[in-house]
Structure 1
Amino acid sequence: MEIEKTTRSRGRPLSFDRDTALEKAMHVFWQRGYEAASISELTTAMGITAPSLYSAFGDKEHLFLTAIERYANGPAAGFPLALEEEPTAYAAIRRLLLEAAEEYTRANQPKGCMIAMAATNCTQASAHIQAALAKRREAGITGIRCRIECGIQKKELAAETDAARLANFYATVYRGMALQAADGASHETLVGVAEAAMQAWPGAVG
């Protein structure tokens, strides 16, 4: 009886599956962007009412940031793994791009990268959202640079290699592939982009 009283005192339990609703909200933000996604669109996709949304997630901004976190730990989770698991910097960057080609064109989700697409066409009112996403993108570039610097230390690359410049190049390719996917580029096309980009790796043989 004590457990029952405690449960009731914490408020009415959710009448929907929070994870499922969050997944659907993530897809709306991914496809529509932060500002363009209305509360009406979100609640319709999530299958809940506006009061339920606010009760479970707070406001639209908090829902979006929670959805971004879900994206980072779900569809985008392969990014850090590619950098950590491959034995060489070359293999890590190549895997990063090839997995992006696959993820960006997956059939059961919006095309491209949510972090790259969600803050496009935002007004000044959403500057803090753009800043949060820019911070995530910058962290991605830092991860690539650190992996390249590790390759330099292991003598996989020449000591004079500019790790920051090389990291910015591959981060730009990665982001460009996301935009191409959003425009309808096929998996095969993006794989071609990835392989072409790896031709620019210092010391790569054509």
Structure 2
Amino acid sequence: METDTAVVTERRPRGRPLSFDRETVLERAMHVFWRQGYETTSISDLTTAMGITAPSLYAAFGDKEGLYREAVQRYRKGPGGYNECMMSDPHDTRAVVRELLVSAANNMSCPETPSGCMIVMSGVNCSPESADIQLLLTECRTGFETDLTARIQHGIDNGDVPASVSPGALAKFYSAVLCGMSMQARDGATHDALIAICDAAMAAWPARP
């Protein structure tokens, strides 16, 4: 398997080599998983959307799970990378958290991509056979909470968040808001409705003494 290259070439036992743009087909696969979920997505669904054959998929990504793991990483670096604003303003934690929520609302309601958050939606109702996938998504969510907890602790240390605040509890609260926004978006909530949720959540931000 080649990574970080524009083109993957597979030579089959018979016929001409098959070439395709790896990043393009990975983007298509990401959208399928995002829309349908991991378990309910078949190899046929993927190959149809990606425009490649099953042998080509296996040659390039190993198997369905390998493809999904790469799709998750692509999502986190692309449309789901809204937590990159964690330190955009080192002196105003409230503004950073609001920016995070608004960026998520923009992503979850974008008409050019599936609704909701891929990390939340694509692992819903996984069976025990997909325990490794559930673990992957749990680690993604836990990592986000850990980063947000650290950012809130930074605010406490700087004095712009009350010292009485539990950074872990506050991070879990806003993580729960994001998960709820994802479900609302999947149920058809508009961008304006998601922004209203952001505003309501920020009204709960702890006031300075």
Under a length normalisation based on structure 2, what TM-score does the superposition of the two structures give? 0.90
CA distance in 2, matches of 1:68, 1:29: 9
CA distance in 2, matches of 1:107, 1:134: 27
Aligned to 2:182: 178
Aligned residue in 2 for 1:84: 87
Shift of residue 121, structure 1, vs aligned partner: 1.1
Shift in Å, 1:159: 1.3
The aligned residue for residue 202 of structure 2 is 198
Q: How does 1:40-189 map to 2 (within 5 A)?
A: 40-79=44-83, 81-87=84-90, 88-189=92-193
Q: What's the offset of the Cα at 1:11?
A: 6.1
Question: What TM-score results when the alignment is normalised by the length of structure 1?
Answer: 0.91
> Which amino acid counterpart does residue 84 of structure 1 have in structure 2?
M
Structure 2: give runs of 5+ residues left out of the alignment.
Answer: 1-8, 12-16
* CA deviation after TM superposition for structure 1 residue 14, in Å: 4.5
Query: 1:123 deviation in Å?
Result: 0.4
Provide Cα deviations, 1:162-205, integer angstroms capped at 9, x if missing partner.
1111110001001110111011100000000001100000017x
CA contact (8 A) 2:61 2:67 kept: yes
Q: How many residues align?
A: 194
Q: Which runs of 5+ in 1 are unaligned?
A: 1-9
1:70 and 1:158 map into 2 onto residues whose CA distance is: 36
Equivalent in the alignment of 1:7: none
Identity of aligned residues (%): 48
Shift of 1:78: 2.4
Q: Which has the higher contact order (CA 8 A, sep 6+)?
A: 1
> 1:5 matched to which residue of 2?
none
SS at match of 2:19: coil
Kindly report the root-mean-square deviation, in angstroms, between the aligned alpha carbons of the 2 structures: 1.3
Contact 2:145/2:175 (8 A) holds in 1: yes
Q: Greater share of helix residues, 1 or 2?
A: 1
